[in-house]
Amino acid sequence: MKITTRHAKTHQNIPSSKHHTMSSHHFFPCLLFLLLLSLHHSLSLAKRCHPDDEDALLRIKAHFNNATAFSTWTPQTACCRKWNMVMCKRLPNTKIFRVNFLEISGEEGISGVIPSAVGDLPYLETLIFRLLPNLTGPIPPAIGKLTQLGLLFLNWNDLTGPIPPFLSRLTNLSTLGLNNNRLTGRIPSYLGRLPNLGALWLYQNQLTGPIPASFGYLQNGTVLQLYDNQLSGPIPTSLGRVSFGILDIAGNQLTGDASFLFGEDKQQLNHLNLSRNKLSFNLTNTVMSGIELEAELLVLDLSHNMIYGQLPTWLGHASIVYQFNVSYNQLCGPIPTEGGALQKFDASAFSHNKCLCGAPLPPCTATHTRVPRDGQAGCWGQSKLVKVRFITSMR
Ligand SMILES: *[C@@H]1O[C@H](CO)[C@@H](O)[C@H](O)[C@H]1NC(C)=O
Ligand SMILES: *[C@@H]1O[C@H](CO)[C@@H](O)[C@H](O)[C@H]1NC(C)=O
Ligand SMILES: *[C@@H]1O[C@H](CO)[C@@H](O)[C@H](O)[C@H]1NC(C)=O
Ligand SMILES: *[C@@H]1O[C@H](CO)[C@@H](O)[C@H](O)[C@H]1NC(C)=O
Ligand SMILES: *[C@@H]1O[C@H](CO)[C@@H](O)[C@H](O)[C@H]1NC(C)=O
Ligand SMILES: *[C@@H]1O[C@H](CO)[C@@H](O)[C@H](O)[C@H]1NC(C)=O
Ligand SMILES: *[C@@H]1O[C@H](CO)[C@@H](O)[C@H](O)[C@H]1NC(C)=O
C-alpha cells in the first residue's frame, strides 16, 4: 500500500558536481548565494497552490458548508503547505506543484454526497473519504476522471447505489476500499482486470450476485475481502489460478465446491475465511503448500458450511495454522494429531460436525475400525456396532 506522498524535493537542483565547481574559494560564496536563492525560489513555489487545485478544493469546502474540518483552507494560505488533509507533489521536470493527496477521514460535520469538485483535482493519486457516517448517495461520476489514482478509499461511510462502471477507467488503482457502506448490485467484472490492483475491500455492503470469474486474473498476493455481503452462486473455479494473500469471502450465500482454493501452489495464502456460506465439498484430498515455505497459513475458518470428508493431515502442522475453525460442518473421522497444531484449539473449533473425534474432542472409539456402511449410525465413535467391535478388538 502506498499512502505515502512524495513531498517536494526543493534541493533537487543542486549540482552533483559541486566538489569540482567549489574548488575556487572566490567562487564559493557566490555559488552558495545562488544556491540559496534558487532554494528560496523553489520553496516559495512549493508554497504556491495551483489555482485550479485551489478552486476545486474551495468548492469542496463550500459543498460541505465550510465545516470546521476545512478551517485551514483559506485563499490567504498555500494549499500545498498549510491546508490540512491535502498534500502536493512536484510534477516531474517542472516547478509546478499539484495536489496529489486528499484525505477526509473521521471529521465531524461532513454530510451530503461526495462533491463532484473532486473530479477537478486531476493529479490526485490518493483519495480518501472515510469514517464519515453522514456521507451519503452514490459514488459520483467525477471520480472516474481521476485516472492517476493509485489508492481510493471510500469506506466506513453511508454510500449507496452500485459499484459504478466508470471506476474501470482508474487503471492505476492498486488499492480500492469501498467496504462498510450500503452498496448494492453486482460486483462488476472489470475489477478483476484492473492491472495494478493488489487489494480490493468490498466487505460489509449489500452486494448481490456471483463473484466475477474475472477475479481469476487478479495478481498473486492479492488481498480480496468480500465478506458479509449477499453474494451467491458457486465460487468461480478461475479463482483457483490465483495465489491470494488474503481471501475472505465469508458471510455470503456461496454454494458448491471450494476445494480448488487449496493447493500446493497457494504459497502466499495466509488468511482464508470461507465461514458462513453454503459450501459443500470433500475436504479429504485438499492440500496446501508445505510448512517449509516462507508464507504461512495463519487463519483458516471454514465454519458454518456443509463441508464433508475428513480433516487432511497437512492441517496438523503447527506453523501453518494460527486461527482455525471447522465447526458446524459435516466432517468425520479423527482429528489429525501429527504436527500437533490442531490440538492447540479448543473443542469449539471442531464442534457440530457429523463425527469428528480425537483430541480436543473425545477420543475416537474405533479408530482402526471400518466405518459401517449401513444406517445413520455410520459415524466414528457413535455407532454401537463400532464400539462393540472396538471393545472386542481390545481384548
Ligand atoms: C463558506 O465560505 C465562503 C467564503 O468565505 C462564503 O462565501 C460562503 O457563504 C460560506 N458558506 C457557508 C454555507 O457558510
Ligand atoms: C451526522 O448527522 C447527525 C444528524 O444531523 C448528527 O447528529 C451527527 O453529529 C453527525 N455525525 C457526524 C460525524 O458529523
Ligand atoms: C501509476 O502509479 C505509479 C506508481 O505510483 C506511477 O509511477 C505512475 O506514474 C502511475 N501511472 C499513471 C498512468 O498514473
Ligand atoms: C470469518 O468470517 C466470519 C463471518 O464474517 C466471522 O464471523 C469470523 O470471525 C471470521 N473468522 C476469522 C478467523 O476471522
Ligand atoms: C501465481 O501463482 C501461481 C501458482 O500459485 C503460478 O502458477 C503463477 O505462475 C503465478 N503467477 C504469476 C504472475 O506470478
Ligand atoms: C471424500 O474423498 C475421499 C478421498 O477421495 C473418499 O475416500 C471419501 O469417500 C469422500 N467422502 C465422501 C463423504 O464423499
Ligand atoms: C468456532 O466457531 C464457532 C461458531 O461460530 C464458535 O462458537 C467458536 O467459539 C469458534 N471456536 C474457535 C476456537 O474459534
Range(s) within the chain of domains with CATH label 3.80.10.10: 29-370
Give 298 or 114, the one with higher predicted confidence: 114
Alpha helices for 3-109 (secondary structure H): 18-21, 27-47, 51-63, 79-82
The position carrying cell 444406517 is 375
Ligand 5 pocket, mutate which of 196, 219, 243, 266 (most atoms under 8 A from CB): 243
Residue 317's pLDDT band, with cuts at 50, 70 and 90, is confident
Determine the distance separating the centroid of ligand 6 and the alpha carbon of 373, expressed in angstroms.
13
State the pLDDT at residue 262: 92
What does the alpha-carbon distance between residue 87 and residue 125 come to, in Å, rounded to a whole number? 10
Closest by Cα among 384, 352, 344 to 366: 384
Say if residue 252's pLDDT is above 80: yes
Ligand 7 pocket, mutate which of 348, 350, 351, 361 (most atoms under 8 A from CB): 348
Q: Is the CB of 228 under 6 A from ligand 4?
A: yes
| CATH no., domain 29-370 | 3.80.10.10
| pLDDT tens string 98-155 | 999 999 999 999 999 999 999 999 999 999 999 999 999 999 999 999 999 999 999 9
Determine the distance separating the centroid of ligand 6 and the alpha carbon of 285, expressed in angstroms.
8
Determine the distance separating the centroid of ligand 4 and the alpha carbon of 251, expressed in angstroms.
8
| pLDDT tens string 16-46 | 333 333 333 444 444 444 444 444 444 554 5
State the pLDDT at residue 318: 53
Give the residue-averaged pLDDT of 250-267: 94
Q: What are phi and psi of 29, to 5 degrees?
A: -60, -35
State the pLDDT at residue 243: 93
Give 320 or 386, the one with higher predicted confidence: 320
Residue 7's pLDDT band, with cuts at 50, 70 and 90, is very low
State the pLDDT at residue 316: 84
Determine the distance separating the centroid of ligand 3 and the alpha carbon of 248, expressed in angstroms.
28
State the pLDDT at residue 339: 84
Q: Is the CB of 71 under 6 A from ligand 1?
A: no
DSSP conformational letter for 87? E
Q: Whose CA is nearest to atom 3 of ligand 6?
A: 284
**DSSP assignments along 272-332, one per residue:** EE--SSEE--B-TT--B--TTSSS---EEE--SS--EE---GGGGBGGG-SEEE--SSEEE
Nearest-atom number in ligand 4 for the CA of 299 is 13
Ligand 3 pocket, mutate which of 123, 125, 172, 176 (most atoms under 8 A from CB): 172
In this structure, which ligand is nearest to the CA of 226?
4
Sign of dihedral through CA atoms 291, 294, 295, 298?
A: positive
Q: Whose CA is nearest to atom 2 of ligand 5?
A: 243
State the pLDDT at residue 268: 84
What does the alpha-carbon distance between residue 302 and residue 263 come to, in Å, rounded to a whole number? 16
Determine the distance separating the centroid of ligand 1 and the alpha carbon of 158, expressed in angstroms.
25
Say if residue 372's pLDDT is above 80: no
Encode 113-123: b = buried (16+ Cβ within 10 Å), e = exposed: ebbbbbbbbeb
State the pLDDT at residue 161: 98
Give the residue-averaged pLDDT of 62-76: 96
Average pLDDT, the chain: 83
State the pLDDT at residue 287: 85
Q: Whose CA is nearest to atom 3 of ligand 2?
A: 134
Grid coordinates in use for 39? 532554494
In this structure, which ligand is nearest to the CA of 327?
7
At residue 214, the 3 state secondary structure works out as: helix
State the pLDDT at residue 249: 98
Residue % of the chain over a pLDDT of 90: 70
Determine the distance separating the centroid of ligand 3 and the alpha carbon of 28, expressed in angstroms.
40
Closest by Cα among 168, 180, 108, 177 to 143: 168
pTM: 0.84
Burial of 315 per CB tally in 10 Å (0-12, 13-18, 19+): buried
